[in-house]
A and B are shown apart, each in its own frame.
Chain A
Amino acid sequence: MSKGKSHPRPLSPHLQIYTKMLTMMVSISHRITGVALYFGFLALAWWLLAAASGPDYFDFVQTLFGSWLGRLVLFGFTWALVHHALGGIRHMIWDIGYGFELATIEWLARANLAGSIVLTLLIWIVGYWVR
């Protein structure tokens, strides 16, 4: 025993103590994107209300969303939406009882992240294409 000296006691695990892992990052970003989309719904409602309000107000909102800042925010929401949707599919695979092998879990995390980036870029490329 020590002579009354205080030793650092083991702590229960918490976020700062875990080694950062991709699966953990993807899990956290699933929640963060979910919360972002919760507020992002306002943008969809606003756009629809603008269309219902008449041409002048609609043009105003279109210009706002079409500005570089508006487009940046919408790009972010596109990624969040795709990432959260793919994450949901990932969870669905687990819910029906598949994909619990470590290698599969790691692959699913990579696929979720890569898929969200590729699909987001694809959506925006098509978006500019049809314009």
Chain B
Amino acid sequence: MGLRTPLGRARGLGTGHSGTEHFWRERVTSLAGVPLVAFVIIFIVAMNGADYVSVIQAIHNPFVAIGLVLAIFNLAYHMWLGMQVVVEDYVASKPRRTATLLASTFYCTAVALAAVYAVLKISFGN
């Protein structure tokens, strides 16, 4: 049935050449994001009005640090995927679209690594 070649059907990737990969990754990071966001909110609420030493001591706890690092990686990846959809929807010109997507990749990478670095520096420090 249809005009697809058997190989094309087996690959199941369609014209975008990536199939449902993007959709799936967005859902996986979304699912993981629910408990991670809950954790981040609880952490920030608990840190409300806390002084410097208390915050440092809290992030010193490996479980808090691991939770934060997981949340940072997950959320940064999720927002990179999401922004890609938004850009592809609204930026029609190919060069501008590529440039915007590149800028988004750089932004997400930089902001995630900066946040992870900060957490690890505090957690590994004394």
B34 and A52 contact, CB distance less than 8 A: no
Does A117 touch B at the CB level, under 8 Å?
Answer: no
B82–A34 touching, CB < 8 Å: yes
Query: Does A131 lie at the interface of the complex (its beta carbon under 8 Å from any beta carbon of B)?
Result: yes
Interface pair A55/B115, CB less than 8 Å apart: no
- A110 contacts the other chain (CB 8 A): no
Once the chains are docked, how many angstroms separate the CA of A41 from the CA of B75? Answer: 9
Kindly state the separation between the CA atoms of A79 and B45 in the bound complex, as whole angstroms. Answer: 14
- List, in ascending order, chain B residues with CB within 8 A of A92's CB: 27, 30-31
B52 touches A52 (CB 8 A): no
Residues of A within 8 A of B15 (CB): none
Q: Is the interface of A mostly helix, strand, loop or mixed?
A: helix
Known: A31-B86, A41-B79, A92-B31. A48 touches B45 (CB 8 A): no
Q: CB of A102 within 8 A of chain B?
A: no
- A45:B52 contact, CB within 8 angstroms: no
Of A35, A42, A59, the contact of B86 (CB 8 Å cutoff): A35
Interface residues of A in 38-91 (CB under 8 A from B): 38, 41-42, 44-45, 48-49, 51-52, 55, 58-59, 66, 78, 81, 85, 88-89, 91
Interface set of B (CB-CB < 8 Å, partner A): 27, 30-31, 33-34, 37, 40-41, 45-46, 48-49, 52-53, 55-56, 59, 68, 72, 75-76, 79, 82-83, 86, 111-112, 114-115, 117-119, 121-122
**What are 21 A-B contacts defined by CB distance under 8 Å?**
A35-B82, A38-B79, A38-B83, A41-B115, A42-B111, A44-B40, A44-B115, A48-B68, A49-B117, A49-B118, A51-B52, A51-B118, A51-B122, A52-B119, A52-B121, A55-B52, A66-B49, A81-B41, A85-B34, A92-B27, A95-B27
